[in-house]
Amino acid sequence: MKDQPSRLLLVKNLIVIEKKLPGGSGRDLEQFAERARRSTGLSGEVNILITSDTELRRLNRAFRRKNKATDVLSFPATSSGIAGDIAISADTAANNARSLGHSLRDELKVLMLHGMLHLAGHDHERDNGQMARKETLLRGRLGLPQGLIERTLRVETKTQPSRRKAVRPRRTPA
């Protein structure tokens, strides 16, 4: 029997699934996470937790002082060799997928990509659309449906009043 060369296993992504997901194992999510990590230019390990709305609410309250569930949170690392951690709500992802007409797996991938862009230093609340453009480009390359930022902008646009509405000046008593 020939000696096999020893192999060093370098883990780039760790996905912990706390919530049962329909459709089999998380292997396709692991493969996607690696592609997304490389596409966003992240170096180092990315840890991804897929959990419940209850846990995302707890994390959001503890780290952002917002007492509500959310879809995805990103936590950049402070040590070398690790890019950071991402927490995703499977509950919110399932609701989004259902309302948008795509699979839960696709929604989880959209949220992973969004979280990785945050780990790479992007911030859609402050960057004048830079993250949105990057997310749109990468979603196309990775074969994903509409992204998180686009959805948010579409909803905001629908809820804003029309600019064509005439405003009558108030009459002041004479």
- Please, what is the average pLDDT of the chain? 79
What are the chain's domains?
Answer: 13-158 (3.40.390.30)
CA torsion 50-96-27-13 (nearest 10°) is: -50
Model pLDDT, residue 19: 74
* Residue 16's pLDDT band (cuts 50, 70, 90): confident
Predicted structure pTM score? 0.76
**85-110 per-position pLDDT tens digit:** 999 999 999 999 998 888 999 999 99
Under 8 Å between Cβ of 130 and 96 = no
Q: Which residue has better confidence, 129 or 75?
A: 75
46: DSSP letter: E
* 55 has a pLDDT exceeding 70: yes
